[in-house]
Chains A and B, each alone.
Chain A
Amino acid sequence: MSVLVGKDTRVIVQGLGKTGQFHTDKAIAYGTQMVGAVHPSRAGTEFSFEGETDHSGVPGRDDTYSVDLPVFATMKEAVAETGANASVVYVPPPFAADAIMEAVASGVDLVVAITEGIPVGDMIKAKRYLEGSGVRLVGPNCPGVITPGECKIGIMPGYIHQRGKIGVVSRSGTLTYEAVHQLTLLGLGQTTAIGIGGDPVNGTNFVDCLQMFEADDETEGVVMIGEIGGTAEEEAAEYVKSEMSKPVAGFIAGTTAPPGKRMGHAGAIVSGGKGTAEAKIEAMNAAGIVVAETPSDMGEAMVRALG
């Protein structure tokens, strides 16, 4: 098994601008079942994708692909016509929260929001809209979710991944790649890698992912990568301490970040003495999480945690 996405995940893309098209093409090359797109002004047409297969993805495919993606006016119609169970959002920031809500209303199980720069006020409303729906939102401002060899939703480079036994969850895109790459080189591989995003209001947090990985038979250990700002890592450490049987390794970025400054991610800020890297590392150590000293040691930390 794996978590969140797999070979039965059927994906609609919302937002087919330059970025959306580029990554839809990469996802198809990887073998993800992209089944449709939503683009009101182009409804009724098809978007064609063709190229060379990315053989690091789903095995047993031809060397080239050619896919005509049907375009729909609304998410509801797209889901009804294609039987999709997931969507990926590349819609520009001013309209992204609305796209998330549309996806939630359409009946998919999973919404992965890649868009960076959505106003916090919009996300507060979108999150309220999610309550009680049973739909899982990952992101926004995240690289997406990948189950190697089965399904890639998002902007991560597929080829650095390798199917294996470690779950990865991270607030940072490029640090996820670092961890994944190291796990691949060490032969541990990944079950699923989840980017939960760098925004202060997001759909899925560390604890949600840790719960999923704890319940997944294939996952033998978890790497969690946090950063300064908020207290999500402290809550995750608390969960690891009280509920998790599987070993966890981690890293926290931002030890050297000056207080009061936003370090790129909207959520990465130490304010009023809260959200420091030190407090997070201390909580993780206390929970028995093996914390890597530098990001180059994340894979090794996982090896140590596995014992």
Chain B
Amino acid sequence: MKIHEHQAKQLMAARGIPVPMGRVARSVDEAVAAVRPLTEESGNPVVVLKSQIHAGGRGKGTFKEHPDVRGVNVITDGIDGGPGAAEERVRELSQQMLGSTLVTIQTGDEGKQVNRLYVEQGIDIARELYLAVLLDRATSRNIVMASTEGGVEIEKVAEETPEKILRAQIDPAIGLAPFQANELAHGLGLDGDAGKNFKGFVKALADAAVEMDTDLIEINPLVVTTDGQVMALDGKMAFDDNALYRHPDIAEMRDETEEDAAELEAKNHGLNYISLEGTIGCLVNGAGLAMATMDTIKHVGGEPANFLDVGGGATADQVTTAFQIITKDPNVKGIFVNIFGGIMRCDVIATGIVEAVERVGLEVPLVVRLEGTNVELGKQIIEESDLEVTNADSLRDGAEKILELTGGGAE
């Protein structure tokens, strides 16, 4: 699960990790009202107005409705004009930003609607660094990754100047050891107050990652201020969904407006669904087989409309919901059901399909491939129903048949 920047900063602040002061605004008035308290408390006339969406690249992104407005804006009008001028500029910008669609390199062309803003104090930046805590699958441990190249995409740094990335493994029994924090500070060229502050920061961040079960914490940039403070200027956090049950406070931060409606509905029914842009709907058991089904459709010349794994123990009800979700997608021209029953029994799936079609109706061709536990019973249930179903002998055969029935896949 992803959360917004302002939520990530709230979680960091609660754990003693320094972040700039800021206020969330869901309306223009709230944004304007945030300016004076921030400038007064920080003593800095500059404020920053940041779009809150679950995607990166906001600073360089622009709005569909206002191509000259960026996703993040540094407002300097207060330096000469005082807080009133800053407020005016915040009002003008937030009117354009709120409710508009921000397009960044990570949102795709369709962009994402901005429903909340974060107004933050200005910071006098001396250096920009990069810091992250994430899982290193090769060692089965979390690692801290740091780099002197802040504000740049880390993938780019990894490709072009891999020697600029520092790593420290977190031993689950020990946590990040003081010497490791010291090595990182040294590697980043931080000494004096900045070095001391960084060591405290990175230790707290590593502890927070373990305590909160994050998949990823990425701070880009981490800034050193002109007076030697170290703070998270940006903050991205993603959490392990499997551990959310023990973090109800974090689970509450879920912003459902950031998620695909169909994917959310599927999740609420215990289904794994991801919508794609093709025309052939897929209903499969098992994540690996579901991916391989998409691959095979593509291999024979079609385009999958979705990834859908009904899981190992799906009920007839879940199959019906899966059908509803797939048929709701207007791009779907045909459905391919591919089941290799292990725990999942083919007769249960077959019953589910028959019930689903009776309840939902079916206006597109349907190809069904059943294999595994109770396969004969499953085929019999489908044959004895009045459904117009094309049977397939193998995954490849099924993919070819649904492609043929949907007009060869060529658009």
Residue B61 is within 8 A (CB to CB) of chain A in the complex: no
Question: Using Cβ atoms and an 8 Å threshold, which residues of chain B touch A170?
Answer: 288
Q: Which of B140, B245, B299, B341 contacts A293 (CB 8 A)?
A: B299
Rounded to whole angstroms, the CA-CA distance of A119 and B289 in the bound complex is 23
Proximity bits, A181-219, B CB within 8 Å = 1, else 0? 100000000000000001011000000000000000000
Question: Using Cβ atoms and an 8 Å threshold, which residues of chain B touch A155?
Answer: 312, 342-343
Residue B396 is within 8 A (CB to CB) of chain A in the complex: yes
Residue A42 is within 8 A (CB to CB) of chain B in the complex: no
Rounded to whole angstroms, the CA-CA distance of A127 and B140 in the bound complex is 7
Residue B213 is within 8 A (CB to CB) of chain A in the complex: yes
Question: Using Cβ atoms and an 8 Å threshold, which residues of chain B touch A297?
Answer: 396
B340 and A174 within 8 A (CB)? yes
Question: Using Cβ atoms and an 8 Å threshold, which residues of chain A touch B396?
Answer: 294, 296-297
B291–chain A nearest beta-carbon distance, Å: 4
B291 and A93 within 8 A (CB)? no
| B interface list, Cβ under 8 A from A | 106, 135, 137-138, 140-142, 154-155, 158, 171-173, 210, 213, 215, 240, 242-243, 245-246, 272, 274, 276, 284-292, 294-299, 304, 307, 309, 312-313, 340-343, 371-373, 394-397, 399
B289 and A174 within 8 A (CB)? yes
A129–chain B nearest beta-carbon distance, Å: 9
A124 and B287 within 8 A (CB)? no
B240 and A121 within 8 A (CB)? yes
A124 and B142 within 8 A (CB)? yes
Rounded to whole angstroms, the CA-CA distance of A267 and B371 in the bound complex is 26
A157 and B242 within 8 A (CB)? no
A233–chain B nearest beta-carbon distance, Å: 12
B172 and A264 within 8 A (CB)? no
B158 and A143 within 8 A (CB)? no
A201 and B288 within 8 A (CB)? no
Most B Cβ at <10 Å: residue of A23, A170, A268: A268
Question: Using Cβ atoms and an 8 Å threshold, which residues of chain B touch A293?
Answer: 299
Rounded to whole angstroms, the CA-CA distance of A27 and B173 in the bound complex is 36
| A interface list, Cβ under 8 A from B | 19, 22-23, 93-94, 116-125, 127-128, 143, 155-157, 160, 170-175, 177-178, 181, 198, 200-201, 225, 227-232, 235, 251, 253-258, 260-261, 263-268, 272-273, 277, 293-297
With A157-B373, A272-B155 as known contacts, state yes or no: A123 contacts B140, CB within 8 Å. Answer: yes
Rounded to whole angstroms, the CA-CA distance of A124 and B135 in the bound complex is 9
Residue of B nearest to A200 (CB): B137
Rounded to whole angstroms, the CA-CA distance of A147 and B340 in the bound complex is 20
Rounded to whole angstroms, the CA-CA distance of A153 and B94 in the bound complex is 60
Rounded to whole angstroms, the CA-CA distance of A272 and B165 in the bound complex is 15
Rounded to whole angstroms, the CA-CA distance of A293 and B297 in the bound complex is 12
A294 and B395 within 8 A (CB)? yes
With A119-B213, A181-B371 as known contacts, state yes or no: A171 contacts B298, CB within 8 Å. Answer: no
A257 and B288 within 8 A (CB)? no
B242 and A120 within 8 A (CB)? yes
B272 and A264 within 8 A (CB)? yes
With A120-B243, A231-B138, A294-B396 as known contacts, state yes or no: A253 contacts B295, CB within 8 Å. Answer: yes
Rounded to whole angstroms, the CA-CA distance of A263 and B240 in the bound complex is 14
